[in-house]
Structure 1
Amino acid sequence: MRTLLTILLMIGGLTALAGPRATPADCTGAAVAGSYIPLSYCLEDMPQGDSLQLMIEHAFGLQILHSVPVENRAVFMLPLSLSRKAGVLSVQLLSRGQSLHHRTLRILPDTSHRGALEAYAGPKHLITDHEDHTMVVVSLLDSMDNPYPPGALVNYLLMAKGEVQSGERPTGVLHSYMRMKAPVKAGYGSITIRADTVSHTTFRVNFYANDPEDFRIMAEREHGYADDKQLISLTTDMLQDRHGNVVGNGTIVHFLITNSEGARTMAVGRATEGRAEVKMPAPAYPTTWQIRAEVPYYATSSEDLTLDFKASLTGYPLHYTPVTRRLTIGPVRGFTGHYLADATPVKVRVLTQDDTVRLDTELRDGLATIQIPAEISSWRAEAEIATVIETFNPQAKNER
């Protein structure tokens, strides 16, 4: 008898030490985001009037909910701030600081309703010839901005100048992506992204010509005389890449000109609708131009262009009046018989036995006049206009 009583007292003590117990009544480890989510527990040996705490650890921190059991049952309602966000929650039921139950709750995105598609494509300005590409990145989201679970399929479609690229990629932890190459033809194109049960979006993309190929240059002029007035047009043919795409407006072309004396001149043109043009004044004296052109670092003219310039002035008279000691130069006429322009420089050198006197002047109405100083008795003169030199020696009576 005494032994039986001892056993009963031991059983009662162990029962008291075991304390209250709890088991989940909802029997679920997952829920869909978007609505209130109840978490219920069945309780055993719960002291009457004791309150319970539900400690929830989530991505943003820690939150504690309170509830009072009713008929050995406790129900906690997850607030919307937690139930609308997909992710994993660590849930622990507490009573008087003691853990009664611990479990993990997974909240899944709501894929039963039409979601949203967020996408980025860049760059949107590409070089043709399949050498350049744009990266398209896509995230699928439910109505509460929760990313879709991995494995959701995304369809990609690029259409440009009759060329079509398409592909299908699954989402990863957060996004799906695809590299879409530029076509061989310049112009415009569109990239469309679509996913089932999710909206679609479209991007506009520009495709530009690749590096230009070598090209030809041409010259256009009215005549072949070095008159210092005529404007000579230097142009390229169509600047294109190897697929025939025309280079963009504003592409810089350097025209490099070397004359017979080795002097170099550069003129800069910009392409308009595939062609570049510059205008250069004709030289003032006979010479030959060697012309080449280049798109810096990319392409050059396939052949140099040669332009010869003849003298526009072949000679002119000099007349000396002894009474007034005036030397008249001209009339000076060009290759068409017209007077050379006013202000054309005239270089005059008066040479004596001991010295050379410069008496430069300019043409007016085809003539120029200089006064020979009275102190000069024995002399001869040289006049130079546009590299054409004429001489006069009054002692030899070489008046022209």
Structure 2
Amino acid sequence: MKLKQGLFLIFFQLIVVSFLAQETTNRKSISLLSTKNEFVAGDTIILEFTSKNKSNFQLYCANSYGSSVISSKSLDHKITFEIPDFLSEKKGILSWMLINSKEKISGYISILSKIQPKTMETYLGPPSIEAGGIDFAMLVIIPTDSLDNPIRNNSKVIVKHQFLKSEIQETIFTDKLITYKTFFSPIKSGRMIISSESFGLNSKESDVNIMPAIATNFKLFVRRNHDYADGNQITTFYTSVIKDRNNNIVSDGSYIEFFITNNNNNILKTTGTTINGIAKAKIVHPDFEENWKIKAFFIGISESDVLEIKYKKVIENYNVAFLNKNRNIKIGPLKSFMNQIIPDGLSVKLSIYKNNTLIKELFEESKKGYTDFYLDPNIFENNMYKIIVSTAGIKKEFKNLNLW
């Protein structure tokens, strides 16, 4: 009885082992032969499998650039798949999987970029920064191989920069496809030249303008031929050299506005732009006695002190003659501070009143020391008028003037 039970157990074990062996043989109808899973971009990548049948298999491949389905080639119980160039030339992880096989076979291939770079992509910005050590520019470098892949991590890149009399170079290393370097602004203004090098390959030259920082307050000065209010000569206002807190001269072309307040609290304005840090502006002398207060502004940034100047009266008196039934009014001679005839262009105003109501104001400019007005009878009918003549700050009033 025991013998029969032992034989039965042996027979049962043989059946189980045979069944498992058959299952294992069926599962391994196709298996991977290739063991290499790391390649350099541009290499020919072929995956080999063994197969017990001549079925056509397909391999699904994908990476970050795209995907493709590849048909197999068979020879002597070997199945091969050649990865297409558009996948094998790109750095990264390439995943693959058999898609029409009973066996679930998959894997990945690591594709490395070439060691030697072919090009150097560089990006530098911003193009200008403020002097003083607070602002900075950043250089981003992407060395790429002949297939446009960023070179491998931890590859050495030499960054060089020149500013004024100093030349400095520093070694940095690529990380996650790129490398970068920040350049904080020096104290002085100027132009910084920057370049980079990797494995003997040099980048193009780039530069950053180091601009002066915010300007500080400045002084204001005046230059003029004389201090008489002749309405003819030119007064020039100019600033001290405008600098920033680091003693850098502000950029040429900086816009400066000059505001002038006169005796009547009216405001005149003139402007200028800096050259070598100095801004100049010109204005014509007033034509009557004045006191001016001038202040210059680098708008929103800095300002000057207040400069006060005086203009003396240039004409003490003048004659007014009425001719041709009082309709021709001749004013002059108008003489200046040395008793010379005043230059042409002095403004003269004639105000005409009727019944103490202003009905007309006429303006003329002097010529050869005289000014003439004509009161047209078609406009000013025969009647009694009040006439006021004003020039060089001097007014003369003529009441009950009869026009006929």
Considering the TM-score relative to the shorter chain, is it more than 0.5?
Answer: yes
Conserved 8 A contact 2:70-2:83: no
1:398 counterpart residue number: none
Once residues 371 and 87 of structure 1 are traced to their aligned partners in structure 2, the CA distance between those partners, rounded to angstroms, is: 96
Which one-letter code corresponds to 2:318 in the other structure?
A: Y
Q: State which of 255, 277, 280 in structure 2 corresponds to 1:277.
A: 280
d(CA) in 2 for partners of 1:380, 1:100:
116
Q: For structure 1, which segment, 252-261 or 59-68, has the greater mean C-alpha deviation from structure 2 after superposition?
A: 59-68
Gaps of 5+ in 1: 395-400
Cα distance between partner residues in 1 of 2:361 and 2:155: 93
Distance in 2 separating the partners of 1:82 and 1:355? 99
Equivalence for 2:41: 33
CA distance, structure 2, for counterparts of residue 390 and residue 40 of structure 1: 116
Task: Work out the CA distance in 2 between the residues paired with 1:58 and 1:327.
Answer: 99
Q: What SS class does the counterpart of residue 216 from structure 2 fall into?
A: coil
Counterpart of 2:173 (choices 148, 170, 187) is 170
Tell me the secondary structure at the aligned position of residue 270 of structure 2.
strand
> Which of 299, 321, 324 is the equivalent residue of 1:296?
299
Deviation digits for residues 138-188 of structure 1, max 9, x if unmatched? 223222122223322333222211345554433222222222122222222
TM-score, with length taken from structure 2: 0.80
What one-letter code is carried by the residue in structure 2 that aligns with 1:184?
I
How do residues 212-223 of structure 1 correspond to structure 2 at under 5 angstroms?
Answer: 212-223=215-226
Q: Would the alpha carbon gap of residues 311 and 34 (structure 1) be closer, same or farther in structure 2, given more than 3 Å must change? A: same
- What secondary structure, in the 3-state scheme, does the structure 2 residue paired with 1:276 have? strand
Within-5 A mapping of 1:74-223: 74-93=79-98, 97-99=101-103, 101-111=105-115, 113-164=116-167, 166-196=169-199, 198-223=201-226
**Aligned letter for 2:205?**
T
RMSD: 3.7
SS at match of 1:291: strand
List per-residue Cα deviations over 1:299-342 (Å, max 9, x = no partner): 111x3212111100012345689999988654331212222336
Bigger Cα displacement from structure 2, 148-157 vs 381-390: 381-390
Distance 1:261 1:285 in 2: 13
Q: Is the 8 A contact 1:361 1:368 kept in 2?
A: no
1:52 and 1:68 in contact (8 A); partners too: no
8 Å contact from structure 1 (residues 163, 183) kept in 2: no
- TM-superposed deviation, 1:359: 9.4
Match of 1:17 in 2: 23
- Superposed CA deviations along residues 338-357 of structure 1, whole A, max 9, x for unmatched, are 22336741547799xx8699
Cα shift at 1:221: 0.8
CA distance in 2, matches of 1:87, 1:392: 101
User: Structure 2 CA distance, aligned partners of 1:157 and 1:235?
Assistant: 42
TM-superposed CA distance for 1:247, in Å, is 2.0
Matched, 1:386 2:392: yes
Measured at CA, do residues 179 and 213 of structure 1 come closer, stay the same or move farther in structure 2, by a change above 3 Å? same
Instruction: Indicate conservation of the 8 Å contact 1:115/1:197, yes or no.
Output: no
Alpha-carbon offset, residue 196 of structure 1: 2.8
- Distance (whole Å) between structure 2 residues aligned to residue 374 and residue 80 of structure 1: 106
Closer/same/farther in 2, CA of residues 324 and 240 from structure 1, 3 Å limit: closer
Cα distance, 1:266 vs. partner?
1.5
TM-score, normalised to structure 1, is 0.81
1:270–1:290 CA distance, 2 compared to 1 (3 A):
same
Aligned in 2, Cα 1:209/1:359: closer, same or farther, shift over 3 Å? closer
User: How many angstroms apart in 1 are the aligned matches of 2:90 and 2:201?
Assistant: 19
How many angstroms apart in 2 are the aligned matches of 1:359 and 1:92? Answer: 99
Task: Report whether the alignment pairs 1:331 with 2:333.
Answer: yes
Counterpart for residue 378 of structure 2: none
Query: Is structure 2 residue 77 aligned with structure 1 residue 67?
Result: no
CA contact (8 A) 2:142 2:150 kept: yes
* CA–CA separation in structure 1 for the residues paired with 2:56 and 2:299: 82
Distance 1:260 1:323, change over 3 A: closer
Query: Shift of the alpha carbon at 1:286?
Result: 0.6
Distance verdict in 2 for CA 1:7–1:276, change over 3 Å: same
Given that residues 114 and 199 in structure 1 are in contact (C-alpha distance below 8 angstroms), is that contact kept between their aligned partners in structure 2?
Answer: no
Q: Is the 8 A contact 2:356 2:386 kept in 1?
A: no
Q: Structure 2 CA distance, aligned partners of 1:51 and 1:393?
A: 123
CA contact (8 A) 2:91 2:149 kept: yes
Deviation at 1:296, TM superposition (A): 0.6
> How do residues 226-245 of structure 1 correspond to structure 2 at under 5 angstroms?
226-245=229-248
Q: CA deviation at 1:199?
A: 4.1
Flag the 1:165–1:11 CA change in 2: closer, same or farther, 3 A: same
Shift of 1:223: 0.8
SS across alignment from 2:20: helix
Measure, in 1, the Cα distance between the counterparts of 2:383 and 2:97: 124
By how many angstroms is 1:390 displaced? Answer: 5.2
Instruction: Measure how far apart 1:197 and its partner are.
Output: 5.5
Aligned length: 383
Q: Could you list the per-position Cα deviations for residues 24-51 of structure 1 after superposition, in whole angstroms to 9, with x for gaps in the alignment?
A: 434222122212122223x3xx435344
% identical aligned pairs = 21
Shift of 1:283: 0.7
CA shift, 1:270, in A, is 1.7
